[in-house]
Structure 1
Amino acid sequence: MSQTKIFAHRGFSSQYPENTMIAFQAALEIGADGIEFDVQLSKDHVPVIIHDQTLDRTSTGSGVVGHYSLLELKQFSAGSWFHEKFKAEQIPTLEEVFLWSKNNALQLNLELKGYVWERQKMITIVFPLIKKYGLENRVIVSSFDHKMVRLWNEQYPMIETGIIVKSALYNPESYVRQLAALGYHFSFMSLTMEEAEQLIKSGILLRPYTVNQEKWIQIFINLKCDAIITDYPDLALTLR
């Protein structure tokens, strides 16, 4: 088995404003194996990279992301909340990230978000971008919306998918198989070590999040999880 990969959570988010191009570039420069980031749709149905449903926490905007067009979203700073020196950072589009990724080999873990009634719209918009940039073998599509994961797998089974869970599931192996997913992205304290070992033996790709403490990073590296999703990719790389 290959070594555990280190995915930078929303980019190198402990040192840079999350979900921005500078955070993604910083993750690349320190040697992360991949980046994890969040995808939502703007009012005019452009996939943009931002975590919260609202703009208030991580930008100079206010209100619901999906109530703004891309042109309007681009007027807000996505970095000044973190530090004034990042005020020029904008909310990236998914296509901007894909274009940038053509010059590197990072694995791209997309967390698809949004309203449940927009599932099919999200899938219909995102897949052609993956194909346009030839990223079919570098993308992982994940979501807390497991119905969307299943729908994606029915239409585009060539793209790797993972389900995201916050708490323990009763029979996660069976559940993951039922959804035709490969990845199990779990809140890092929601599995016992015995449960994690069994899932790994069964071929499920475990990717715990958000693993920031040295003790837990080392535990999941020793366990040989497929990847660790962390705000501190520098620490995780050092420990690995």
Structure 2
Amino acid sequence: MRFFAHRGVMARHPENTMTAFRAALEAGADGIEADVHMTKDGKLVLIHDETIDRTTDGQGRIADMTLSELRAVNAGVTFAVHEQIPTLDELIDLCQGTSVVLNLEVKTDIERYPGIEQRLVDTIRNRRVPVEQIVFSSFNHATLKRLKRLAPDIECAVLLAQPLYDLVAYCAKVGATAVHPNVRTMTDEEILQLQTEGLAVRPYTVKTVHDLERFRRLGVDAVFVNDIDWAKAHSTP
């Protein structure tokens, strides 16, 4: 079972920052999950919310701000340090030459960011990131369908916060080969059925030893955790 760092090592560092991403690499994470938005001037930035209000010392919608404006705020206030909101290019630079998987969650479930799918695929292609190191995920499954049409060789994963009827057929229709469910969304039997059908399952966000052991027993492909060192220390070999 692999460990993906949820927004980097967010338990110890400001989420979705270069420090959190570097900590994930240093801890030996198999993957790094980051949330992708698009600025007013078409730049891809990594931050969870549609606004900067919660995680920075500024205010406003990302869609209304330029990269330069976003760079002026402090994204490390929750840990009383100074951090900038990073770009996708910076995360790619950090992980260049490693085998770490980049799970890019495209945040179009509230803001649609017209053109973000093409911009995202162009960035991956232009930066020559190996396709086996990229997973696109989103709660907006129309975004996944568009991404799959633009880049059929890159894996797409359906994010789920609640059960969905006939999930196997639904994934086939969307073009997804993986499911990323909330830790409470699926029963053991449902997870095993997905795996039998060839779908990778990667639950989010695992915070208890009980859940670590549950998903290891079920043989899921990976779990998303807030602290890689904690997950490794509490995992049965």
Same fold (TM over 0.5): yes
Tell me the residue number matched to 2:225: 230
Question: Is the CA contact (8 Å cut-off) linking 1:164 and 1:184 kept in structure 2?
Answer: yes
CA deviation string 1:29-48 (max 9, x = no partner): 11110110100001101000
Q: How many residues align?
A: 233
Provide the rounded CA distance (Å) in 1 between the counterparts of 2:166 and 2:13: 37
Tell me the residue number matched to 1:186: 181
What is the deviation of 1:117? 4.6
Provide the rounded CA distance (Å) in 1 between the counterparts of 2:84 and 2:106: 19
Tell me the residue number matched to 1:200: 195
Q: Is residue 95 of structure 1 aligned with residue 92 of structure 2?
A: no
Question: Is the CA contact (8 Å cut-off) linking 1:99 and 1:133 kept in structure 2?
Answer: no
Could you tell me which of 139, 143, 146 is aligned with 2:134?
A: 139
Moved more, 96-105 or 184-193: 96-105
Q: How does 1:45-56 map to 2 (within 5 A)?
A: 45-56=42-53
What is the deviation of 1:177? 1.2
Question: Is the CA contact (8 Å cut-off) linking 1:214 and 1:235 kept in structure 2?
Answer: no
Tell me the residue number matched to 2:215: 220
Provide the rounded CA distance (Å) in 2 between the counterparts of 1:180 and 1:126: 17
Question: Is the CA contact (8 Å cut-off) linking 2:36 and 2:107 kept in structure 1?
Answer: yes
Q: How does 1:160-175 map to 2 (within 5 A)?
A: 160-175=155-170
What is the deviation of 1:233? 1.8
Question: Is the CA contact (8 Å cut-off) linking 1:40 and 1:47 kept in structure 2?
Answer: yes
Question: Is the CA contact (8 Å cut-off) linking 2:37 and 2:113 kept in structure 1?
Answer: no
Give the counterpart letter for 1:102 in structure 2.
Q
Tell me the residue number matched to 2:206: 211
What is the deviation of 1:103? 3.7
The unaligned stretches of length 5 or more in structure 1 are none
TM-score (norm 1): 0.93
Q: Is residue 5 of structure 1 aligned with residue 5 of structure 2?
A: no
Could you tell me which of 172, 180, 191 is aligned with 1:177?
A: 172
Tell me the residue number matched to 1:126: 120
TM-score (norm 2): 0.95
CA deviation string 1:91-142 (max 9, x = no partner): 00011111111142210000001356535x0111111111122222201011
Tell me the residue number matched to 1:159: 154
What is the deviation of 1:217? 1.1
What is the deviation of 1:171? 1.3
What is the deviation of 1:178? 1.3
Question: Is the CA contact (8 Å cut-off) linking 1:20 and 1:91 kept in structure 2?
Answer: yes
SS of aligned partner of 2:12 = coil
Tell me the residue number matched to 1:107: 101
Q: CA RMSD in A?
A: 1.2
CA deviation string 1:162-206 (max 9, x = no partner): 010110111111111111111101011111101111111111010
CA deviation string 1:55-97 (max 9, x = no partner): 01101110111111000100111112x222x21x100001111
Question: Is the CA contact (8 Å cut-off) linking 2:38 and 2:113 kept in structure 1?
Answer: no
Question: Is the CA contact (8 Å cut-off) linking 2:3 and 2:225 kept in structure 1?
Answer: yes
Question: Is the CA contact (8 Å cut-off) linking 2:121 and 2:147 kept in structure 1?
Answer: no
SS of aligned partner of 2:132 = coil
Provide the rounded CA distance (Å) in 2 between the counterparts of 1:79 and 1:117: 26
Question: Is the CA contact (8 Å cut-off) linking 1:9 and 1:230 kept in structure 2?
Answer: yes
